[in-house]
Chain A
Amino acid sequence: MDWLALSPEEWTAVRLSVWVSTWATFVSLPLGIAVAWLLARRDFWGKSALNGLVHLPLILPPVVTGYLLLITFGRRGPVGSLLESCCGLVFSFRWTGAALACGVMAFPLMVRAIRLSIEAVDRRLEAAAGTLGARPAWVFATVTLPLILPGVIAGMILAFAKAMGEFGATITFVSNIPGETQTLPSAIYTLTQVPGGEVGAMRLTLVSIAIAMLALLASEVLARRVSRRLELE
C-alpha cells in the first residue's frame, strides 16, 4: 500500500487546491447572491448584458477566460496595476490569481443555483413581512435569505467542485508553479507529462474523487437538514 502515500509535493498541491477553492467560493458568495437577486427580481437597463457576462466563462474556452484575466488582472493590466498600487493585491503568478480564476469560472454555476431559489420564494411572504414593519433589507435578511438557504448551499458546493477542477483558465493566468499556483489538476497534468509519473497521477486522481464525493455528501446532509428545518408548506 506504499504507493498510496502522497509525496510532499502532492500534498502541497492538494492543500493548495482546497485553499484556493475555499477562497474562491466564499469571496464570490456575497457577489453571487447580489447578482442572482438582481437577475431574479429587478428589471434594469443592461440586464441581458449582465446575464451574458456572468455566463460567459461557462461558454468561452477556459484558455480565453484565463487570457482575458491575464491582460486585465496581470501586473500591467488596468485592474491589476490599480489593485497593486492601492491595496498591494497581486494576482499574477500567485495563489490569489488561481483563486480569482477559479471564482470567475465557478461564478455562473453559483449564480444560477441561487437565482433559481430566489425565483422560487413566495413573494407574498415578503409582502407580509413588510406589513409587519420590516424594511426591505430586513425582509431580505429575515425571510428571503433563510428561505433560499438550500439554493445557496447548492450553489456553494457546485462552485467549490468547479473550482477544484478548474485547469485551463488557471494555468493560462497564473501558470503552474509548485507551491504557489499548482493546483490538483495542474499537478496531475504535470505528472502525466514526465516519465514515471503515472503512479502519482493516479494517487491525485483518487484524492480528487474522494474530495468530490465528500463535497457532495456534505451538500446532501446540509440540504436535508435545512429542508427539514423549513418543512415547506
Chain B
Amino acid sequence: MTLAVSVRHRQGAFLLEAEFRSSGRLTALFGPSGSGKTTLVNVIGGLVRPMSGRVEADGRVLVDTQARVFLPPHRRRIGYVFQDARLFPHLSVRQNLNYGRFFTPRGERYADFEGVVDMLGIGDLLERRPAMLSGGEKQRVAIGRALIASPRLILMDEPLASLDEERKAEILPYIERLRDEIRIPIVYVSHALAEVSRLATDVVHLAGGRVRKAGPAGEVLATAGWQPKPGDAVFDDGPFSLVEMEVVGEEPEHGLAILRSSGGEWRLSVPRLAVGTRVRVRIDASDVIVATERPRGISALNVVAARIDGIADAGRGRFMLDLTCGSDHLLASVTSRSVELLDLRRGREVFAIVKSVAVQGMPMAVR
C-alpha cells in the first residue's frame, strides 16, 4: 500500500505544509508536540478538511481540493485508534467491537472477530462496559474495534501517550503483531523516540508543520537527534544518533554482546539478545570522543573509523560533528578548542570513540 500526502492547512496561527509518500508497513509521524502530527493524521482520516492538497491511499483519492474531492470519514474505510480510546459508553465491549463490522460491505470483511479478540487478549472483557476497563484494556479494545471494521489502513494517534510504562509495555507487542502478522498498513503518530524506533519501518519527521525528513526508519532516525540551530531543541536530552546493528555473538565472561553495524564491530553491555536480532542503538553526541589517530592503551572498547561529513557551530564554545561511519551517521559534540587544535574539518578521516550506548526499544522492525 502506498500513501501519498501533500497538504497545506492553516489552523489559527499554525501552518501545516507537509508532503510525503510512504509504502511502509508502519509509518511513524514523528516530532515534538505542536509539529502538526495530529493535524496531518486527521487529514488522512478525514476529520480535518485541508485548505488545499491531495491525499491518496492505495491509488484511491481521498482528498483532492483541486478536483473538489473530499471523501467523508465513513467512506474511507480507514480505522482510527485515538489517544483517549473513545469507546462508546452505552455499549458493551462486544458491541463496541462489532460496531464497525455492521457498516463494512459484506465482501470486504476480512477481520475475524474471534481471531482479533484472541490476539488482543480481550476475551474476558466482552460483556463489560467501557467504564469498567483499565486504561490499557480500553486501548486494546479500541484497537480491536478499529480492526474488526476491516479497514484498509489504521491510524494511531499517540495510542500509548496516556498510559504508564507498564501499560505501554502491555500494548506494544500487540501493535507489533498487527504490523507483522495481520500486515495491515499503519500510520502511527508519536513524539516518543523509544516507540518510534521500536515500531516504525518508515518515519516522517515533522517539525513546525513541515516535513524535515521522510524515508526508511533507519535513515531518518539516524539524524533525528541533530539540532540544526543552537537552541532549536528537537529533544530535551540533547542531540544523539541512532545506529542499526545486528547481534553477531557474545562474550558471556565479560557480559558483552558483539554487534555489527555497517561501520564496524561493537562490544556492548546490553541485555542478552539472540544472534541475528536487529536493534537500534542510541548514541548521545556527548558520549562520542573524536581522535585523529587510532588510539592505543584506552579502556573504551568501541573505536570505529569515520569521516567528518559536516561540522556546525552549536554555540557556547561547542561544535557538532556529523560523522559517517559505514552508511551510518554518528553525532559528536566537541569543544571549539579541539576543533582548532586537531584541525577538524569536513572530509577529514578520524576515529570515533564511543563511551556508552543505549539500546532503543528493541527488537526493531525488519523491513
Residues of A whose CB lies within 8 Å of any CB of B are: 124-125, 127-136, 138, 142-143, 146-147, 229-233
Residues of B whose CB lies within 8 Å of any CB of A are: 45-47, 72-74, 76-80, 82, 84, 86, 88-90, 99-100, 102-104, 129-132, 145-146, 149
A138 near B103: Cβ-Cβ < 8 Å: yes
Closest residue to A229 on the B side, CB-wise?
A: B90
Closest residue to A131 on the B side, CB-wise?
A: B80
A135 near B89: Cβ-Cβ < 8 Å: no
A131 near B73: Cβ-Cβ < 8 Å: yes
Q: In the complex, what distance in Å separates the CA atom of A37 from the CA atom of B355?
A: 64
Q: In the complex, what distance in Å separates the CA atom of A170 from the CA atom of B336?
A: 92
B84 near A133: Cβ-Cβ < 8 Å: no
Enumerate chain A residues within 8 angstroms of B132, measured Cβ to Cβ: 231
A128 near B103: Cβ-Cβ < 8 Å: no
Q: In the complex, what distance in Å separates the CA atom of A130 from the CA atom of B88?
A: 12
Can you add 10 more A-B contacts, CB < 8 Å, to A131-B45, A132-B103, A133-B100? A124-B84, A128-B82, A131-B47, A131-B78, A133-B77, A135-B74, A142-B99, A147-B89, A231-B89, A233-B131
B90 near A146: Cβ-Cβ < 8 Å: yes
A127 near B130: Cβ-Cβ < 8 Å: no
Closest 7 pairs (CB-CB, A-B): A133-B103, A132-B100, A131-B80, A128-B86, A130-B73, A231-B131, A146-B90
27 contacts between A and B (CB under 8 A): A125-B86, A125-B88, A128-B80, A128-B86, A130-B47, A130-B73, A130-B74, A131-B45, A131-B47, A131-B73, A131-B76, A131-B78, A132-B74, A132-B99, A132-B145, A132-B146, A133-B74, A133-B77, A135-B74, A136-B74, A138-B103, A143-B90, A147-B89, A230-B89, A230-B90, A231-B132, A232-B89
Which of A124, A130, A230 gathers the greatest number of chain B CB atoms within 10 Å? A130
Interface of B, secondary structure class, is: loop
- In whole Å, how far is A173's beta carbon from the nearest beta carbon of chain B? 40
Q: In the complex, what distance in Å separates the CA atom of A132 from the CA atom of B155?
A: 12
B130 near A147: Cβ-Cβ < 8 Å: no
A231 near B129: Cβ-Cβ < 8 Å: yes
Q: In the complex, what distance in Å separates the CA atom of A125 from the CA atom of B47?
A: 12
- In whole Å, how far is B153's beta carbon from the nearest beta carbon of chain A? 11
Closest residue to B148 on the A side, CB-wise?
A: A132
Q: In the complex, what distance in Å separates the CA atom of A132 from the CA atom of B79?
A: 6
**Contacts A231-B129, A233-B130, A233-B131 given; does A134 touch B103 at CB 8 Å:** yes
Enumerate chain A residues within 8 angstroms of B103, measured Cβ to Cβ: 132-135, 138
- In whole Å, how far is B80's beta carbon from the nearest beta carbon of chain A? 4
Enumerate chain B residues within 8 angstroms of A230, measured Cβ to Cβ: 89-90
Which of A131, A134, A146 gathers the greatest number of chain B CB atoms within 10 Å? A131
Closest residue to A127 on the B side, CB-wise?
A: B47
**Contacts A127-B47, A131-B78 given; does A232 touch B131 at CB 8 Å:** yes
Q: In the complex, what distance in Å separates the CA atom of A132 from the CA atom of B100?
A: 5
- In whole Å, how far is B132's beta carbon from the nearest beta carbon of chain A? 8
Enumerate chain A residues within 8 angstroms of B104, measured Cβ to Cβ: 133
Q: In the complex, what distance in Å separates the CA atom of A131 from the CA atom of B142?
A: 12
Enumerate chain B residues within 8 angstroms of A147, measured Cβ to Cβ: 89-90
- In whole Å, how far is A126's beta carbon from the nearest beta carbon of chain B? 10
Enumerate chain A residues within 8 angstroms of B46, measured Cβ to Cβ: 130-131
Enumerate chain B residues within 8 angstroms of A128, measured Cβ to Cβ: 80, 82, 86, 88
- In whole Å, how far is B259's beta carbon from the nearest beta carbon of chain A? 41
